[in-house]
Amino acid sequence: PAESALGTDDPASGEVPRLYQWDSRWGSTVYSSTAFALTGCCPTSLSMVYQGLTGKGDLSPYDMGKRASEGGYETTFDGTDATFLVNEAASLGLSCEADSVRSALEGGAVLICNVGPGDFTDNGHFFVITGIDDEGNLVVNDPYSAERSNRAWDVDTVLGQTIGLWVYRLA
């Protein structure tokens, strides 16, 4: 999947960076009793949101995984407890709140989406929703798949698989 990983990982670019949980810089580290590449979607998603909103590159997906682990949010073989997303926001200089997808994105927010089985996963998965394109489709940064990041997604398709949404803005 690395060959099609288009996008930037420069936090100063003003865009939400595309970072991948399988990146060689952290993908082979151990997280949730297995490889970060398999279970690091939540910390990778929060790292993208943090870097995109703050313009800072000091917290990589690996660093977010360490924060999750040290805070007791890492689960055995199941990734990250979703409360990590809400509970860590303030310490990162972010606010996290409930809002409608469209109004949040139009207002400059970035969302982390947790989905169940469907187009993105057989079990559970986290990714970032960065905006809405000209056709009204969602633009996503999927930390596991460059292919899914490179296409637009129908809002109803994504929301039909969604377990939870977290809206982030600078605090």
pLDDT at 1 over 50: no
Q: What Cα–Cα distance (Å) separates residue 35 from each residue in 55, 91, 100, 148?
A: 28, 26, 34, 21
User: Going along 28-149, which residue ranges are E strands?
Assistant: 30-31, 34-35, 74-75, 79-80, 94-97, 110-115, 125-132, 138-141
- Is residue 2 over pLDDT 50? no
Task: Determine whether 6 is exposed, middle or buried from the number of CB atoms within 10 Å of its CB (0-12, 13-18, 19+).
Answer: exposed
Q: What is the pLDDT of residues 88-145, one digit of tens each?
A: 999 999 998 767 888 899 999 999 999 999 999 999 999 999 999 999 999 999 999 9
* Entry pTM: 0.79
Q: What is the C-alpha separation between 89 and 64, in angstroms, rounded?
A: 11
What pLDDT is attached to residue 123? 93
Owner of token pair 């109004």:
103
pLDDT category of residue 15 using cuts at 50, 70 and 90: confident
- Answer whether 29's CB lies under 8 Å from 38's CB: no
The token pair at 116 is 């169940």
pLDDT tens-place string over residues 57-95? 899 999 999 999 999 999 998 899 999 999 999 999 999
What confidence score (pLDDT) does residue 8 get? 60
Q: Comparing C-alpha atoms, which of 26, 69, 19 is closest to residue 48? A: 19
Residue 33: count of CB within 10 angstroms of its CB = 12
Q: pLDDT of 21-38, one tens digit each?
A: 999 999 999 999 999 999
DSSP 22: T
What is residue 98's predicted lDDT score, i.e. its pLDDT? Answer: 63
Hey, what are 96's tokens? 């996290």
Which two tokens mark 95?
């606010």
